[in-house]
Chain A
C-alpha cells in the first residue's frame, strides 16, 4: 500500500492560515487521500478526503497536486482548538485498510 510522508511538527500563529503538506509519490490511480486529526486525549476525527479535485468543507480545504503526488490540507484561520496531530492517509478504493502513519503535530501560537 502506498505510504505518506508528513513533517513531524509545524507551528502557526492564531488567526493565520495553515498549510499542512503531505507527500505521496507512490499513490495509485484508485487511492483516495484522507485527512484526520487527533486532538489531545481524544480519538481521531475525520477532516476531509478527496480523489483528484480540490475539496472544501466547513473544517478545511484539500488541495491536490495535478500529478496527485502531494496534497495540502489548508486551515483558513487557525484557532487554538486546531492544535492537534494531523494525519494524511491513503486508502485504495478497493481496499479495506487504513494506514495512518505518525502525522504532523500542529502547534497554534496565541
Chain B
C-alpha cells in the first residue's frame, strides 16, 4: 500500500532532550516536506526537500533540522526541544512539484508534547 508513515505517533518529552521524528514514503517521491499544525494558525511548513541531499527552509524552520540521505526517508530533528514546539506534526511527500504530479500525500501525524 502506497503510504507515508511517521514514528512515533505520540511523544511526550522534556525540554532540551534531543528527539527525532521519522518519516518514510514508499512511493519513490522526490519531494518531501514537514509541517506543524497549531490551533488558530493552520498548517505551517517547516522544511522541505526537493530530492536527496537537497533541503530548504520553509516558513517556520527555527529550532528544527532535517536531512535527506535516502529518497524514502526525511527525519525531523529537534536538537533541544522547547515547550513552544509542542504541536501536531505532519510529513508529506509528492512525486514532484511539476505539472500534474504535485499532489501531496500526508502521513498520519505525530503529536509532540514538550514539558
* A103 to B43 CA separation, bound complex (whole angstroms): 9
B104 interface neighbour in A42, A46, A103, Cβ under 8 Å: A46
The answer to whether B41 touches A96, judged by C-beta atoms less than 8 angstroms apart, is no
The answer to whether A96 touches B42, judged by C-beta atoms less than 8 angstroms apart, is no
Q: In this assembly, does B65 line the interface, its C-beta being within 8 Å of a C-beta of chain A?
A: no
Interface residues of A, count at CB 8 A? 19
Q: In this assembly, does B92 line the interface, its C-beta being within 8 Å of a C-beta of chain A?
A: yes
B interface, size bucket: 20 to 34
Hey, what's the 0/1 contact readout for A58-92 against B, CB within 8 Å counting as 1? 00000000000000000000000000000100010
Chain A contacts for B102, CB-based, 8 A: 32, 34, 49, 91
Stretch of B10-18, B72-80, B105-113 with 4 or more beta carbons under 8 angstroms from chain A: B105-113
Chain B contacts for A97, CB-based, 8 A: 45, 48, 58-59
Which residues does B use to contact A, with CB under 8 Å?
A: 4, 31, 33, 35, 40-45, 48, 50, 56, 58-59, 90, 92, 97, 102-109
Which residues does A use to contact B, with CB under 8 Å?
A: 32, 34, 36, 42-46, 49, 87, 91, 96-103
